[in-house]
Each structure stands twice: as C-alpha cells, then as structure tokens.
Amino acid sequence: MYGLELENLCVDFGNFKLDNINLKLRRGCITGLIGRNGCGKTTMINAIMRQLEATGSILYNGKPYKGNEEEIMNSLACVFDKPHFNQNLKPKKIIKIYNAIYPDLDLGKYYSLMDKFRLPHELKLSKYSFGMQRKYCLILALCRNADILILDEPTSGVDPYDRGEIMDLIQEFIMDENRTVLFSTHVTADLDKIADYVVMMSDGKIILDTDKETLTDGYRLVQCETLTPEMQASAIGVQKSMFGYVFLTRDKDIKEGEGVKVKVPTIEEAFVHLQMDKRGLEL
Amino acid sequence: MIKKPEGLYKLESYRYFRSVLTAPVKRRQQPFFYVTLYFFAGFLIMYTFSTSSCPVSIIMAVFALLCFSSALTIGEYLRNSPSLATLMPISERKKLIYRFTSSLYLLLRIILYALAILAIIFIIAIIVVGITMAVEGDGGGAEEVSGDSSAIVLMGKYGAIFSVAFVIICFSAGIIAGYFKKTSNKNRFILGFILAVILAFIFTGLPYAIHHRGDLSVDTRIVSPFIESCYDNMPVPWLCSIMWCLAAAGSLAAAIYFGIRKMKASEY
C-alpha cells in the first residue's frame, strides 16, 4: 500500500515546468528526495500540499483530494522550505491556534520537544535563528500525529547534534509502519542514515527512483591516478583532480590495486557523478 | 496545558480567521498600493463630506471603505502561501465561505478598535472639559449642542439602498482584488475600480447639478449619492437604485465566481 501516489503531475510556471511526475511512496518507508537547486523539489512538495495549481492526480493513502479534503489535510504534515508563520508571532500564540485547528495535536509531545530543542515559548519567531525556526516547524509537524510527513530541507541550518536528534525523531515517527515520509534535502548524509528509497530530480523530471541499496551498492566509486581505456569505457561522471581521477562505475568487479581505490559510494557521491553523466542512471 | 477550543475558537469560521492572520505578510507593499488606497479613502470621505450634511452618509462611506480594505487585507494574507489557513483541514468550499466571513471578522475587529479609541478620546475629552469647567467656575457660556435628528431621514429610501449596494460593491471588489496573484494585475484592478467609483459618483450626482445650474446656492454642486436630494431631480430614481442593486449583485456574484474557479483549480 502506498501513502502517496502521484500520477502525471504537472505544474507549469511558463519558465519552469514540473513535467509528468509519477511517483509512489511506500508506507512505513522514508523516501529521500534529492536534486540540484531549482530542479523542482519544492514545487512538487507545494503541489502535494495543495499550495499551487497543478494537473494530474495525487492519491493520499489511496484517496483522491476531492471529497476527502478534511481527512487528507488532517493526515498531512509538512515542514516547508520557508517559515509559513508571521514572524511577529510567538510560539505560545501559534500553538494556541494550532491546538484549536488540529484535534489530534499531541500537546505533551510539543512541550517535551520544545524543551528538548531548547526553544523559548515567549520569544517572537523573528528572534529565532534560522535553525531554530526549522526545528520549530519540525516540532509542529511531528506533534500533529499525521500519516504523511513531508519535509523540505528540515535540517538546513541545524547544528550536527540536533540533526542527529531530528533523524532519531523521524525514524521514531515511521516506526508503526503505517506512516509515510518524503524527505527533501541537500544534506545527503542524513539520507545515508535513514532513507529507504531515493528519488532524484532534474529539470522538473524524476530521473531516478530506487531503493537506497540499489543506488549505492549498484555502483562503485573509483579513485585512480591514471585512467586506462578499460576504465574510461565504464566510467560515469569522471572528475579530474590534482591527485588523479574519480569516477563512478557499474562494474562491481573492478579490483583495487596500485594507485586504484574502490569503495561503495555514498548517496552524495553517487548523486554528483550521476548528475555529471546521466547515462549512468540506467540501472 | 492548553485546552481544546474555547470561546470564539469553537467557531470554525473564527478559527479560520485566526489562522489567516498567522500567515507571513510581505512587509513592503508597493507605494502604488498605499497611494491608491489613501486616494480612494480621501475621495470617499471628502466627496461625501463636502456634498452632504448627513453624518450617516459619511459613516456609510467610511464603512464601505473599511469593507473594501478588510476584504483586501484578508486577500493579501491569503496570497502568501504556504500558510496555516491554506493547510487547515476543512473542505475547499468552506475555505471559500470563510474567506468572506474572515473579512467580516476583520471588519468587526477594526470597528471595535476604532470604537475603543473613540471611547478613550471621549473619556479624555470629558475629563478635560470637567477640569476646565471646574477651573472656570459655574460653567458659564456652555451651550446645549443638539444633534441632527433628521440625519437618517436625509438619506431617504434611495440613499439607503445606494449605501447598502455600495457597501456590497466595495466588499466584493476587495475580495476580488485579493484573488489576484500577480501584484501588477491586482493594482490594475484596484485602479480601475476606483476610477469606476469616481465616475459612478459623478454621474449619479449629475442630474441634481444640471437641474440647479445657475443657482449660486451651496446645493449647485454635485451631491453625494448617499443622500435623498441626489435622487430628487431624477425622472426615474428607482431605475438608478435598481442599477446600483444590479451592480452590487453582479460584483458579489463575480467575487463568488472567482472563488469557485479558484476552488475548482485546486481540486486536481
């Protein structure tokens, strides 16, 4: 069963198009969304969250939006790429309104997370740092007890210690196997830790949708001093540096040797090389 | 611990209104926006004030202006998405209805604030007058001030119909202006609306001025459509009222139509 199903989703801004997006997010899984700046990640998230007009269809837990608006909006929680609150408001005011709007809000969890991340209740949001605002938005999303959690760069500006805490919270959120998480980020190290699936976007299209193991274990990252013709034949996204060459290859039998180092790539390494040479995407 | 909805929060429409006000609003509007709004306010108040001795007509003009501004302000808040209002778990139809009620809540809030300020000014004035009278002794020279008891009568049937129609037109225009996503389109609409209002005021008041041409009394000016005498020299004043009512119904229908079109577009 899928938590979120996108079918032929299109958004047209004139100068930018989200082009025929087809994507299925499995329940009980964390799907990482990666891509270069301006590739359409935030546009796709805004379309899922009904913040802009689109064509195509989206099913939330198997249900269309029309006719199920109330249920669906209750089951969706999101951390947007920018704060969606008036900066002059204080958290204590926001939570009062939130509490009135969302009947399933877990206030106990809210207060405990506010204490955990040391966020003051009496301070205006404008006085919060960027990282604090990201954490505040994440707390609001997590204490909603929603079925589908959409995260648009929730850890940007957050210190490494709290990032670790956030990863634990997201994993805890997904524990009951009935929830779905879409996690868009540029900090791919976070996805290395918690993602089950990885979706890669480029120029408004999905160019890769696979499980994390296939992405990382399906390739090898090779560092070598000289590039032989055999290596060149299978090399994907060759990067030249002062120490030699770095490239990705699908040849898993490539052997380490003198001046040749081979390892399983991280998501970031795979992403960088696949962006350089999209021929390598044919898994 | 915060409890579940209490007081006004029990009303879903009020909850929506409160969520609208949590939206991040761009701090800097274009100067055009303020210039046109101030111009509109200035025109309405000065025109009504200078062409009418009826205080109710001035109150109605200010009220219509507040209706326009409150609807426009709610539209401005809702233009900034994502916001809590757009994410609220209610149907799109309710969101459309609550867009209208939110404008009314804001209007009510503005009026309450204005009344509170007026009450404070009144209390201060009473204290100052009291102190002055106490200093001056027996309060000699105090004159009895009488109100204009015929103020409402001066509006007459047609003036009252116009007032209601104009309030609805202003409210609907504010709602429609709020739908525009592009600032340039919104500004063009506001400018067009204000020009239309000015022309409509002048044309409605024209029969009175034409009839009294040559007469050098104060009444030779164009009169405000809020008062009865504006309709005195019209051959068919009821037709004028019907036209204003049609304009009001049309603008309200347009406000609802644009809302439904927006609602349909979000139902993909």
> What digits encode the pLDDT tens for the residues A47-105?
999 998 899 999 999 999 999 999 999 999 999 998 889 999 999 999 999 999 998 89
Query: Within 13 A of A43's CA, how many CA atoms are on the CB side?
Result: 25
CB within 8 Å: A107 and B84: no
Query: What digits encode the pLDDT tens for the residues B229-268?
Result: 888 878 888 999 999 999 999 999 999 999 999 888 888 8
Residues A58 and A155 grouped into a single domain: yes
The answer to the question of residue A208 being in a domain is no
Cβ pair A105, B1 in contact under 8 A: no
CB within 8 Å: A84 and B24: yes
Query: What digits encode the pLDDT tens for the residues B1-18?
Result: 555 677 888 899 999 999
What distance in Å separates residue A49's CA from the closest CA in chain B? 8
Residue whose C-alpha is closest to residue A7's, from A73, A81, A64: A64
* Residue in chain A lying closest to B18 (CA): A97
Which residues of chain B lie closer than 8 angstroms to A107, CB-CB? 1-2
pLDDT of residue B145: 46
The answer to the question of residue A78 being in a domain is yes
Residues A158 and A78 grouped into a single domain: yes
Cβ pair A89, A122 in contact under 8 A: no
Query: What digits encode the pLDDT tens for the residues B178-196?
Result: 999 888 898 899 989 988 9
The answer to the question of residue A113 being in a domain is yes
Residues A146 and A229 grouped into a single domain: no
CB within 8 Å: B15 and A100: yes
What distance in Å separates residue A33's CA from the closest CA in chain B? 20
What distance in Å separates residue B257's CA from the closest CA in chain A? 17
The answer to the question of residue A211 being in a domain is no
Residues A113 and A195 grouped into a single domain: yes
Beta bridge partners of A183: A32, A151
Query: What digits encode the pLDDT tens for the residues A131-181?
Result: 999 999 999 999 998 999 999 999 988 999 999 999 999 999 999 889 999
B17: part of which helix (H) or strand (E)?
helix B12-20
Largest Cα–Cα distance of chain A, in whole Å?
A: 67
Percent of chain A with pLDDT over 90: 77
The answer to the question of residue A43 being in a domain is yes
Residues A160 and A71 grouped into a single domain: yes
CB within 8 Å: B268 and A84: no
* DSSP-based three-state secondary structure for A8: strand
CB within 8 Å: A70 and B81: no
| CATH, residue A29 | 3.40.50.300
* Residue in chain B lying closest to A11 (CA): B268
What distance in Å separates residue A174's CA from the closest CA in chain B? 22
Residues A236 and A167 grouped into a single domain: no
Cβ pair B193, B177 in contact under 8 A: yes
Distances (CA, A) of B3 to A55, A95, A144, B7: 40, 11, 16, 11
- Does residue A58 belong to the interface with chain B, where contact is any CB pair within 8 Å? yes
Beta bridge partners of A79: A151
* Residue in chain B lying closest to A96 (CA): B2
CB within 8 Å: A85 and B25: no
Residues A50 and A122 grouped into a single domain: yes
Instruction: Give the sign of the dihedral formed by CA B14, CA B19, CA B25, CA B30.
Output: negative
What distance in Å separates residue A208's CA from the closest CA in chain B? 25
Enclosing domain of residue A158: 2-203
Q: In the predicted model, what is the mean pLDDT of residues B98-127?
A: 94
The pair of structure tokens assigned to A90 is: 């204080």
Number of domains chain A contains: 2
Residues A47 and A141 grouped into a single domain: yes
CB within 8 Å: A51 and B92: no
pLDDT of residue B211: 64
Nearest by CB to B88, from A66, A73, A78: name it: A73
Nearest by CB to B82, from A69, A71, A84: name it: A84
Helices (H), chain A: 41-48, 69-75, 91-101, 107-116, 130-142, 160-174, 188-194, 212-217, 229-234, 267-276
Which residues of chain A lie closer than 8 angstroms to B83, CB-CB? 84
Residues A182 and A131 grouped into a single domain: yes
Boundary-marking domain end, from A203, A227, A249: A203
Cβ pair A237, A280 in contact under 8 A: yes
Residues A199 and A67 grouped into a single domain: yes
For residue B2, how far is the Cα from the chain centroid?
36
Residues A197 and A256 grouped into a single domain: no
CB within 8 Å: B24 and A85: yes
> How far apart (Å, rounded) are the C-alpha atoms in residues B127 and B120?
11
